[in-house]
Amino acid sequence: MNNYPALIVVAPLLAALFAGLAAWIEERLSYPIALVGLAVSMFSAFKVLMQVIDSGAIQYRMAGWAPPMGIEYRIDLLNAMVLLLVSGIAFLNLIASYKSVDQEINDRAGSFYTIYLLFVTGLLGVTATGDLFNLYVLIEITSLTSYAMVALGDRDRGPLASLNYVFIGVIGASFYLLGVGYLYMQTGSLNMADVANILSGIHGSSTVLVAFILCMIGIWIKMALFPLHVWLPNAYSYSPVAFARIVAPLMTKVMVYVMIRMMITVFGREYIFETLNLADAVVWLATIAIIAGAAMAISQKNLKKMLTYIIVCEIGYMVGGAWMGNQLGMTGAILHILNDALMTFALFLAVGNMVYKLKTVDLIDLKGLFGKMPWTMTGFVLAAFSIIGVPPTCGFFSKWYLILGAFEAGAYHFAAALVISSLLCAVLFFKIFEISFFEPMSKGHGESHASVAIEEAPVSMLVVSGLVSLSLIIAGLYSGTIVNTIILPFLK
């Protein structure tokens, strides 16, 4: 057995230690260390994904201890995909971050990279682990590091946003922990596969019901499902842009992964859709989340804030799909984890470029931006089309599966919500395009038609943003392949 599964998580963890230590000696040393750590992690994640596709799920026992006593990493197609996604985005974002960290928080770059690595370690661990308590610990690692990151951001509003985030985050974690406690009470085990085995005989138990509900509420708080989303917009928009770029696409998506893992692996679809009678209610909740998220996004005056509300809206897509109770909906939800992570990342990369040049990104600051930053805006436009769901970008194809699932389940309200949110997103993004296309930059008249000097972000940021935006089209065109090699075999 090879050690790639462990390496995915351990490489960034070790890199975090060394980066932190190195920063004491020389601040600049921490960046290359972080780069190496994440590169190793991404490579291992790729290896593991290939291996899982070839020969099925991998069980990796930490330090050789057998479950249920020891901690087990259990990597199947679903989390192999998410692992590669997380490590890939973390690595690419690190490349783009060099310049923006330099500009935004240069005096604390060492601590930034250390916390960044710990955050990524947490996300990867959450994704890889097969142990319920270990999952809690790792969620706390990601949360604690992100509290710190938010506080590193906007000097006036960052700390308060962070405090708010801490309060709600702790509540969410406690719900989850309590749920795990109930599960342990009932089953005496913390290993997911083991728990699932024991649970399959006792579906009627009210302890299990309580455990399930507590776990779900905890996870929903962490993933910012409407109306539990209030912490998210401030926390994400006041954090440093280099961190916003990774937390926005990944944090909520990893929590969606956790929800799906709990639903499929731990409690089982049979329990959720046949024993419990909650699915309809949750799909309705998701429907409301979609509409509310899109509506709140449309009323924002700041681009970053607007995008954070779009995240709230997209969470509704995935929750609704997962709870649809059929294969198509679940396929859509899982595909959307990938697609939404990519498109949110692309959007925030573009916003990062804008922030680098413009400092603030209130909508009125974006005047004339097509002339000034054509490449950034091209990336932004592609990502926006993906959110709206224009083919052949990937956003269209996950929407395709979600709407199909909704039709099959007869949840026409959910399908309608998806269509309405596409329309609202179209309005919202074209509002931005109009500002940046029609309005001249300076106050003088007649200058709109003169050619504007191009002032782009640094090449490192542009390249990453361009690549990720292109990947939206590639992911879209190959969504058939992704569904057939990863998602459908997993759901079997």
Partner 1 sequence: METIISIKPLLAVLVSLFVIPVLVSSSSKPNVRESWIFIAGTIKLVLVLSMLPVILDGKQIVLTLFEIAPGASIAFRVDGLGMLFAIVASSLYIVTSIYSIGYMRGLDEHGQTRFVSFFALAISATIGAAFSANLLTLYLFYEILSLATYPLVAHHQDKTSRISGRRYLTFILGTSIALVLPAMIYCYHVTGTLEFSTAGIFAGQLSKPAATVLLLMFVFGFAKAGIMPFHTWLPAAMVAPTPVSALLHAVAVVKVGVFSIVRVMTGIFGIDLLAHFNLGIVVMCIASVTILTASCIALSQDELKRRLAYSTISQLSYIIFGVALLSPQGLLGGVIHIVMHAFGKITLFFCAGAIYVATGKKYISQMSGLGKKMPFTFAAFFIGALGVIGLPPTGGFYSKWNLILGTLEAQQTIFMLVLLVSSFLNAFYFLPIVYKGFFGKSEEENDNIPVKINEANLCLVIPLVITAIISIVLFFYPTVFINLIKVGLDL
Binding site for partner 1 (CB under 8 A): 385, 388-392, 397, 400-401, 403-404, 407-408, 415, 419, 422-423, 426, 430, 434, 437-438, 448-449, 477-481, 483
Task: Quote the least distance from Cβ 479 to partner 1, whole Å.
Answer: 6
Q: Which is nearer to partner 1, 114 or 479 (CB)?
A: 479
Burial letters 216-244, b for 16+ CB under 10 A, else e: bbbbbbbbbbbebbebbbbbbbbbbbbbb
Locate 492 and state its tokens: 């079997």
Q: What's the min distance (Å) between Cβ of 381 and partner 1?
A: 9
Nearest distance in Å: CB 359, partner 1: 26
**For partner 1, the closer CB: 240 or 325:** 325
Is beta strand 58-61 parallel, antiparallel or unpaired with respect to 72-75?
antiparallel
3-state secondary structure 270-295: HHHHHHCCCHHHHHHHHHHHHHHHHH
Residue with tokens 């509003």: 157
Letter string b/e over residues 468-480, b meaning 16 or more CB atoms within 10 A of that residue's CB: bbebbbebbeebe
Least distance CB 404 / partner 1 (angstroms): 6
Burial grade of 463 (CB within 10 A; 0-12, 13-18, 19 or more): middle
Q: Which is nearer to partner 1, 193 or 477 (CB)?
A: 477
Q: Which is nearer to partner 1, 67 or 466 (CB)?
A: 466
When the beta carbons of 212 and 370 are compared against partner 1, the nearer one is 370
Smallest distance, partner 1 to C-beta of residue 28, A: 37
d(CA 44, CA 84): 9
29/426 with CB nearer partner 1 = 426
**Calpha distance 220→207 (Å, rounded):** 20
Instruction: For the CB of residue 435, give the shortest distance to partner 1 in the complex, in Å.
Output: 10
Exposure string for 382-417, b = 16+ CB within 10 A, e = fewer: bbbbbbbbeeebbbbbbbbbbbbbbeebebebbbeb
CB 129 within 8 A of CB 61: no
CA–CA distance, 197 with 203 (Å, rounded to integer) = 11
Task: For partner 1, give the closer residue by CB, 247 or 402.
Answer: 402
Min dist CB 438 to partner 1, Å, is 5
State the nearest-atom distance from the C-beta of 469 to partner 1, in Å.
Answer: 15
**In 297-443, beta strands by DSSP E:** none
Kindly tell me which of 403 and 432 has the beta carbon lying closer to partner 1: 403
Residue 392 C-beta: closest distance to partner 1, Å: 6
Residue 61: strand pairing partners: 72
Which lies closer to partner 1 via its Cβ, residue 165 or residue 385? Answer: 385
